[in-house]
Amino acid sequence: LLALHLQMDRWICIVFVMYFGIAEIFLVPQVPQEIKPYKSERTMARHEVREVEQRQTRDSLRDSPGLPEIEDLIIIYNRVPKTASTSFTNIAYDLCGKNRFHVLHINTTKNNPVMSLQDQMRFVRNVTSWREMKPGFYHGHVAYLDFTKFGVKGKPVYINIVRDPIERLVSYYYFLRFGDDYRPGLRRRKQGDKKTFDECVSSGGSDCAPEKLWLQIPFFCGHYSECWNVGSRWALEQAKYNLVNEYLLVGVTEELEDFIMMLEAALPRFFRGATELYRTGKKSHLRKTSEKKPPTKESISKLQQSNIWKMENEFYEFALEQFQFVRAHSVREKDGELYLLAQNFFYEKIYPKVN
């Protein structure tokens, strides 16, 4: 550090000689003597942080035979059906070439969300050791899988999206009958059934029964038998635990743009450019269920009398509150526009001192 005192009443010219032969010269106002030590300490702390980070980066590249940490990252999106999952996944497909990561669809037989024990072992081994597919974004309709049970060193980053349980069920009901505008020519399982959702509820049909609401809880609960016992309080609590402890971020369908914006801020290696793509791209808005009719208040009221709905709704409200809490500490709104908060922490008092 070289300080050149010029003949000025209230200004000091300071020259910082940086690592790569680049000098930054700027003027700073003189401050009272009792404040200068704090300012100097803060400046030196930031300088020391840069030195420590550069040294650690050099050491990690020299000592580790594997990939740098960020290049070794795996994201798993165990997508719940009819929660805008295809719209979000299309963004990943659009960005993977530009941002240089791999996208892989986990396609299970008959869309069974529960894997056999041997498939769990295969999947965990593939994800953690398939170096050619790192960094990777895996997505599919599979239940949460705890990687720590299998003795692997690295854990993937989990993300997901949830939706109001009745809205999700209504969308799925009509999707099975009429499909969507993503693949309009594909014949769906219930194609030809013209019965509306309201007619199904009033007649006590199985496709709109409260048991069909039980989906988001077991997807977050995981591969335990109790997760799939409809109406299990243990499954609900386990799903809540996993949501806050095992997932980086869980968004809601109704606020998908905010979810994407926060992911771009937290994981730019994957999602750089995602927010703009969502706002302007065509694919992100493409998939919409065809022939969907909103349910009547009577149908909604009938479903809401079920304990199953109460538990699924409790989980959804829990997820929504957590998402809004994270968002409140990540973004601000100004003139109707959202913007991300800048870094709001720094390091100081770093010892031992860097030579």
* Strand segments (E) across 141-298: 157-162, 247-252
Q: Which of 47, 102, 105, 139 is catalytic?
A: 139
To the query of whether residue 285 is one of the catalytic residues in this protein, the response is no
CA distance 274 to 265: 10
Pick the catalytic residue from 47, 141, 223, 329. Answer: 141
Which pair of structure tokens corresponds to residue 44? Answer: 């030196």
Opening angle at CA 290, ends 287 and 295, nearest 5: 115
Q: Verify whether residue 223 is a known catalytic residue.
A: no
State how beta strands 74-77 and 2-4 pair. unpaired
Closest by Cα among 154, 162, 3, 183 to 78: 162
Checking DSSP bridges between strand 11-17 and strand 23-29, what pairing results, if any?
antiparallel
- Please state whether beta strands 247-252 and 331-334 pair in parallel, antiparallel, or not at all (unpaired): unpaired
Return the sign of the alpha-carbon dihedral for residues 271, 272, 275, 281.
negative
Active site residues: 139, 141
